[in-house]
Homo-oligomer: A and B are copies of this chain.
Amino acid sequence: MPYDPSAFAPFAVTVDLVVLTVRRHALCALAVRRGESPFQGRWALPGGFVRPDEDLSQAAARELMEETGLCAHDPDAPAQANGAHLEQLATYGDPKRDPRMRVVSVAHLALAPDLPAPRAGGDAKSARWASVEDLLQQGGYGRDGEQAAPLAFDHAPILADGVERARSKIEYSSLATAFCPPEFTVGELRRVYEAVWGVALDPRNFHRKVTGTPGFLVPTGGTTTRQGGRPAQLFRAGGATLLNPPMLRPEV
């Protein structure tokens, strides 16, 4: 990395968060309403400036905590109570992406189990879970009939990238369990896959696949009937993080 003082230019660096969860059989993302110009009143991804003394992942974890109360855990330490998966997604640095100044945003992807209503933090007027379908369908109408304005800044493509990352990553990793509570059933895990991929999966083949993959699921011994029907075994996420062979996403 050559160092040429004449070439140095100051940038602002932010982290933006794509926080995904599964609610009511739909993949949802956390959106905050902007309280200031530009894009005042529009929905945006949560985020904020990186502080002078913190690492990028620290900044992302701090923002996640401020917005959701979730504690991010390391990719190394898997299942944890009240913890969300957090990983870096990509960095966006178009010179014109923020009209005020040159801002480079390091987007992060967080996957969380279904949560109570989010608490608004920082200068955002409010925060909510919105289906990614509504958020990405520009100019359309949301579920509640409200006109769905496109997300602020370049947050729509960032969200799309995050969703695509999540969709592909649950294929070959055990990441889908990050959308589940600490104990869950095979059916609940299947509904996660169905919501994220937007497809229907065969319950029998899915059951065979996930219970047959060593280290993916460990039975807790308990059962639950919270979904109705025959009681289902409860599982926790096992130590395995990589699925080999992967879970196959049905073709379009």
Q: Please classify the interface of chain A as helix (H, G, I), strand (E, B), loop, or mixed, using the class held by over half of its residues.
A: loop
Q: A10-B12, A13-B104, A52-B102 are in contact. Are A4 and B93 (CB under 8 A)?
A: no
Q: A1-B16, A2-B124 are in contact. Are A56 and B10 (CB under 8 A)?
A: no
Asked if A44 is at the interface of the complex by the 8 Å CB criterion, the answer is: yes
B10 x A95 contact (CB < 8 A): no
Q: Please indicate the chain B residues that have their CB under 8 angstroms from the CB of A98 in the complex.
A: 1
Q: Please indicate the chain B residues that have their CB under 8 angstroms from the CB of A16 in the complex.
A: 1
In the assembly, what is the distance between CA of A67 and CA of B13, in Å?
A: 27
Smallest CB–CB gap between A186 and chain B, Å?
25
Q: Please indicate the chain B residues that have their CB under 8 angstroms from the CB of A104 in the complex.
A: 11, 13, 50, 56, 104, 106
Smallest CB–CB gap between A175 and chain B, Å?
15
In the assembly, what is the distance between CA of A44 and CA of B1, in Å?
A: 7
A56 x B14 contact (CB < 8 A): no
A56 x B93 contact (CB < 8 A): yes
Smallest CB–CB gap between A110 and chain B, Å?
16
Task: Specify how many copies of this chain sit in the oligomer.
Answer: 2
Q: State which size class the interface on A falls in.
A: 35 or more
Q: Please indicate the chain B residues that have their CB under 8 angstroms from the CB of A144 in the complex.
A: none
Q: Please indicate the chain B residues that have their CB under 8 angstroms from the CB of A9 in the complex.
A: 12, 49-52
Q: Please indicate the chain B residues that have their CB under 8 angstroms from the CB of A124 in the complex.
A: 2
A12 x B11 contact (CB < 8 A): yes
A80-110, CB < 8 A from B: 88, 90-95, 98, 100, 102-106
In the assembly, what is the distance between CA of A192 and CA of B12, in Å?
A: 40
Asked if A7 is at the interface of the complex by the 8 Å CB criterion, the answer is: yes
Residue of B nearest to A249 (CB): B244
Asked if A206 is at the interface of the complex by the 8 Å CB criterion, the answer is: no
Smallest CB–CB gap between A6 and chain B, Å?
10
A96-128, CB < 8 A from B: 98, 100, 102-106, 122-124
Asked if A202 is at the interface of the complex by the 8 Å CB criterion, the answer is: no
Q: Which A residues lie at the B interface, using CB under 8 A?
A: 1-4, 7-14, 16, 35-36, 44-45, 47-56, 88, 90-95, 98, 100, 102-106, 122-124, 152-153
Report the 7 A-B pairs with minimum CB-CB distance, sorted nearest first: A10-B10, A56-B93, A9-B52, A2-B123, A91-B91, A11-B13, A7-B49
